[in-house]
């Protein structure tokens, strides 16, 4: 599965902790992330993470485009709802794209844990049936 990771600035450390805790599940899948989030996760966990641009430079839009083309199977977007952030990723458009394309989405660590554990159990295998992927994953 292709899993995208995005985290607002105040949630980046939480994303790193989450990916560290679930490293052995995530290692079985193709990961991509916005720039800084991807770098932090990769450095902390050793996981291979394809890094797009930073969110401020359009990385969230790059991930959104892949969602629109049904190339992402899950989005973990740890957002900070308490900080006013003009240049941060456009939450509403990413949520809308996930809804349109039936992409499982977690916007907090509790939901992300449910999705990751479900992924490990095989609960999301329907994504592979509905949308078969090449072996190469994200490019």
CB-count exposure of residue 43 (10 Å: 0-12, 13-18, 19+): exposed
Cα-based distances in Å from 113 to 18, 26, 35, 90, 132: 8, 12, 22, 23, 24
Residues designated as active site: 60
Closest CA to 59 of 107, 114, 8: 8
For 137: left if phi > 0, alpha if psi spans -120 to 50, otherwise beta; the answer is: left
Which residues does 112 contact at the CB level (< 8 Å), separation at least 6?
18, 76, 78, 106
Specify whether the CB–CB gap between 42 and 48 falls below 8 A.
yes
């Amino acid at each position: 599965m292709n899993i995208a990771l995005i985290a607002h600035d105040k949630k980046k450390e939480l994303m790193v902790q989450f990916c560290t805790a679930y490293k052995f599940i995530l290692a079985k899948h193709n990961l991509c992330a916005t720039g800084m989030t991807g770098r932090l996760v990769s450095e902390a966990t050793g996981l291979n993470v394809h890094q797009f641009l930073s969110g401020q430079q359009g990385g969230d839009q790059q991930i959104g485009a892949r969602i629109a083309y049904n190339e992402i199977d899950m989005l973990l977007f740890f957002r900070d709802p308490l900080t006013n952030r003009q240049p941060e990723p456009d939450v509403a458009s990413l949520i809308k794209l996930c809804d349109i394309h039936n992409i499982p989405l977690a916007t907090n660590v509790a939901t992300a844990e449910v999705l990751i554990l479900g992924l490990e159990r095989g609960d999301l295998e329907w994504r592979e049936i509905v949308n078969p992927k090449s072996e190469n994953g994200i490019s």
